[in-house]
Structure 1
Amino acid sequence: MERLGTGIGWRPEIAEAVERMPGIDWVEVVAENVCPGHLPESLRRLRERGVTVVPHGVSLGLGGADRPDAHRLAALAERAEALGSPLVTEHIAFVRAGGELTASPLLEAGHLLPVPRTRDALDVLCENVRIAQDALPVPLAVENIAALFAWPGEELTEGQFLYELADRTGVRLLIDVANLHTNHVNRGEDPAKALADLPVEALAYVHVAGGVERDGVWHDSHAHPVPQPVLDILTDLASRTSPPGVLLERDDNFPEPAELERELASIRRAVRRGRTAADAPGASRDPRPDGGREPAHAAAPHEPVPGATRARLGLAQAALLSALVAGTPVPEGFDRARLKVQARALAAKRADVVAKVAPELPVILGDAYRPAFLAYARQHPMSGGYRRDALDFAGSLLHTAAGLDGRARRELRVWWRDRSGPRPRAHRPAVRLARATRRVLLRH
């Protein structure tokens, strides 16, 4: 595996700061946020300096019941080639459910949701990973995710699930130590046990991020400083193997560049502590679980997954997602309180992302934007991505006119017409920008 070194998640908000940071060997970019034909100048300059850029996908849904979408795979492959990346990464998660497989409406989560750690889910995931591997021009690595809740009837621990996935497919692993901490707080899972079960020889690199605890639930926010327990898990991992790369993720509430540099320094120290422990006299660990014992599951690795298996998984995921985003009854066996927390988190995520992809909406609606969107989300599950979500939200407001004064209604109608019509008028963007700028200046 190529040695990546120390990196940071590249985001437009900190692009200039990242370019100036010392000791940055590589960056990771959200794959869906870059256009191969129009790469940001900051990424171009980093690449020219020899900084490795890795695309990190968030929408493929490899843990879903359906086979990976060919168009999404092609888009991910195109970004890897445009960036000259040595690998691409995605998540062990499902992000949508329903559709033809279950003869039910297709629903989008708008976020990463955990797959059940069952044999059915593992069989489907392995086949989906193989399909993705065959379609990509570079190796694939998949990431463990944070979870607010557990599935009933799980048959494997997280470490066992990841071990069998890597063993059966040869896929590399992106281990997020912050997500291990999240699952420790929210699900009572032991990070050290998960690390002991991992096939560390499959490690591609490591994510480190911050979060926040509210009412006994840890939220993997990527908007807070990295806590010491996460650094301790990183040290434990580094005592077991030398990570090819370690990357700091920050997606919101960006601090000053000096603070990011201090966090990177803390990450480097945590890794050094782990390597020092590994080099201490008497420190010896077999990198394979159970001293190299073969995994218990002996299913044929390339046998196609039966359609009935995908259907069972699809029905279970559709029922869960419908409960989270459409208010249908909670499936039996789930923690209802935790699902309520997850449902609120999904709605808040939708509101935040729609505000980013359509920044004019919070300007037009002001303080009314967030409560209006959350009220809309409770009645309208997302089914067509965030940009479609923004249009549908605006159209719903115009239809009901709830809470809109005359000025907001006029500006919202202009915004909606410009984006929903077949050919927006050329002068509208400049007019919108001028109006939005004037409103912001007047408020401040």
Structure 2
Amino acid sequence: MKLGTGIGWRPEIADVIEALPGIDWVEAVAENLCTDHLPESLVRLRERGVTVVPHGVSLGLGGADRPDPGRLAALAARAGLLGTPLVTEHIAFVRAGGPLTASPLLEAGHLLPVPRTWDALDVLCENVRIAQDSLPVPLALENIAALISWPDEEMTEGQFLAELVERTGVRLLIDVANLHTNHVNRGEDPATALDELPVEAIAYVHVAGGVEKDGVWHDTHAHPVTRPVLDVLAELRSRVDPPGVLLERDDDFPPAEELAGELSAIRGTLEAAAATSPGGGPRRPVRPTAPVARAAGGRDRAAMAQAAVLSALVAGSPVPDGFDHRRLGVQSRALAAKRAGVVAKVAPELPEILGDGYREAFLSYARNRPMSGGYRRDALDFAEQLLIAGHPADAGARRKLARWWQERAAPRPPRRGARLVRAARTALLGR
């Protein structure tokens, strides 16, 4: 299946994407689409013959829990609505806790890495098979960018991906920007990863921008694509001709001519690499040697480990043994900043009401209040906590905030007594 050159479809740049020349396909975040109707822009693109691939972000196939049937059904419905040739997701966990750990369920609001261990691979493969059985089209999984590393890993990224493909037959979505991120943050050589993974299983490729701060690469999708990322793309093209390549941009959208320029740079990189490639087909990865016997209970062990890490990241719990405290702190601050930014997008009235004080107020709220019900619930809980505490100080702003909260959550604003109710509810959930 040849996809060609594509771009990530986002509502903010829908008109720009429709006007860009040479767009063969687009990818849309699955959770941002309804299951029974499409945005008019995607309807028009499909009528022009442009393929639309749904890209999921919430399944958490690397998580300890088995995939949620409701989420799988929704992804399957979107695939059917789009008439897509495949769907994609990530090799990551996005939530932890719950029944397996007898602790409150925590949401990361972000894609977090799974350890490259045989235990984690067993869990991932079972989850992938469940997803494959539930979807009407083939599934491809994306390697993610990571700020943190798990201790005592048993495989490299390429070996982990090769084993996953061997066991499940799943396709791969290789993000070359994420390979570059892991090179900067974890010292992993992109060329080695490409040598070790089965490149013939690649369904398509992501290219995206980022930025380096204090020696840490942040995969922002809000900055221009850099030369090192294009160099990794060239390395990949020297091994295989990918069926599709897609430019991702999620924020700080540039003018149309800049997007067109980045697409041209991607095409040029592929053409130059193809012209100088010696050919000979993909290299066969060397498979790691699995232990002869593994103890049962991998899912339970994964649940406890992931809950401990996520709690350290979002709830101020102690850092688990073996983790880099500084890097975990960087990841924790990045999660909080992303959470503040997404809440501002899903509830733009909040920064309008709170003005310059929004970000500081939200980060203070989030410091010891993990997200447990998605970003819209998070926005309501944030507003509720402000009102309980008598904020904002300006009476007019406080009335606006109360009205906003009332329209979405309850007939009257929360009073200080609600603090006791919330505390009791939290205590019960934590038992």
TM-score, structure 1 normalization? 0.91
1:343 correspondence with 2:339: no
1:202-224 C-alpha deviation (Å, 9 max, x unpaired): 10000000000000000000000
The match for 1:296 is: 289
| Residue correspondence of structure 1 range 302-313 to structure 2 within 5 A | 308-313=297-302
- Write the mapping of 1:311-322 to structure 2, written as runs, cut at 5 A: 311-322=300-311
User: Shift of residue 200 of structure 1?
Assistant: 1.1
Matches within 5 A, 1:191-210: 191-210=190-209
**How far apart are the structure 2 equivalents of 1:295 and 1:86?**
32
Shift in Å, 1:306: 8.3
Match for residue 268 of structure 1? 267
Aligned to 2:230: 231
Do structure 1's residue 49 and structure 2's residue 48 form an aligned pair? yes
Which structure 2 residues correspond to residues 408-419 of structure 1 after superposition, within 5 A? Answer: 408-419=397-408
| Count of aligned positions | 412
TM-superposed CA distance for 1:285, in Å, is 4.7
Q: Residue in 1 aligned with 2:390? A: 401
Query: In terms of mean alpha carbon deviation, does 355-364 or 172-181 score higher?
Result: 355-364
| Cα shift readout 1:136-188 (whole Å, capped 9, x = no counterpart) | 00000000000001000000000000000011000000000000000000000
Output the CA distance in 2 between the equivalents of 1:158 and 1:10. Answer: 28
Aligned runs of 1:109-128 on 2, under 5 Å?
A: 109-128=108-127
Q: Secondary structure at the match of 1:164?
A: helix
Aligned to 1:426: none
Q: Check the 8 A contact 2:199/2:282 in 1, yes or no.
A: no
Contact 2:200-2:282 at 8 Å conserved across structures: no
Q: 1:209 to 1:299 in 2, by over 3 A?
A: farther
Q: Could you list the runs of 5+ residues in structure 1 that have no partner in the other structure?
A: 424-444
Asked if the contact 1:201–1:287 (Cα under 8 Å) also holds between the matched residues in 2, the reply is no
Provide Cα deviations, 1:2-48, integer angstroms capped at 9, x if missing partner: 10000000001110000000000000000000113231100000000
Answer whether contact 1:30 1:58 (CA < 8 A) is retained.
yes
Secondary structure of the structure 2 residue equivalent to 1:232:
helix
AA paired with 1:389?
D
Counterpart AA for 1:347: A
Tell me what 1:382 maps to: 371
**For 1:354 and 1:97, how far apart are their aligned partners in 2?**
21
Q: Structure 1 pair 65/306, CA: closer, same or farther in 2 (3 Å)?
A: farther
d(CA) in 2 for partners of 1:217 and 1:380? 26
| Cross-structure match for 1:145 | 144
Question: Which residue identity is paired with 1:43?
Answer: L
Q: What secondary structure does 1:289 align onto?
A: coil
Greater CA deviation, 267-276 or 215-224? 267-276
Residue identity opposite 2:139 in structure 1: L
The residue identity in structure 2 corresponding to 1:319 is A
* Aligned partner of residue 220 in structure 2, secondary structure: coil
Q: For residue 287 of structure 1, what is the amino acid of its counterpart?
A: R
Q: How far apart, in 1, do the equivalents of 2:3 and 2:393 lie?
A: 51
In 2, the alpha carbon distance for the partners of 1:312 and 1:183 equals: 25
Task: Indicate the SS of the match to 2:367.
Answer: helix
Cα distance, 1:288 vs. partner? 1.7
Structure-1 residue corresponding to 2:105: 106
Aligned residue number for residue 333 of structure 1: 322
- Partner AA of 1:7 in structure 2: G
Report the Cα offset of residue 390 of structure 1: 0.5
Read off the aligned partner of 2:345 and give its amino acid letter.
K
CA RMSD of aligned residues (A): 1.6
Q: 1:422 to 1:268 in 2, by over 3 A?
A: farther
- 1:244 is matched with 243
Please give the secondary structure, in 2, of the residue aligned with 1:409.
helix
Gaps of 5+ in 2: 413-431
Q: 2: CA distance between counterparts of 1:127 and 1:13?
A: 37
Q: In the alignment, residue 189 of structure 2 is paired with which amino acid?
A: D
Alignment pair present for 1:284 and 2:280:
yes
Change (3 A) 1:123 1:213: same
CA contact (8 A) 1:8 1:249 kept: yes
Confirm or deny: 8 A CA contact 2:240 2:281 kept in the other structure: no
| Paired residues of 1:27 and 1:54 also in contact (CA < 8 A) | yes
> What is the deviation of 1:374?
0.5
Q: Distance in 1 between matches of 2:55 and 2:202?
A: 16
Match of 1:30 in 2: 29
Partners of 1:209 and 1:364 lie apart in 2 by: 33
1:307: Cα distance to partner? 6.7
Task: Confirm whether residue 359 of structure 1 aligns to residue 321 of structure 2.
Answer: no
User: Cα deviations across residues 228-258 of structure 1 (Å, max 9, x unaligned)?
Assistant: 0000000110110000000000000000000
Distance 1:306 1:124, change over 3 A: farther
Task: Compute the displacement of 1:407 (Å).
Answer: 0.9
Which segments of structure 1 move beyond 3 Å, counting only runs of 4 or more? 294-300
Q: CA deviation at 1:276?
A: 1.3
Partners of 2:247 and 2:253 in 1: how far apart?
12
1:373 is matched with 362
Taking only the aligned residue pairs, the percentage that are identical comes to 73
The residue type equivalent to 2:365 in the other structure is Y
**Displacement, 1:97?**
0.2
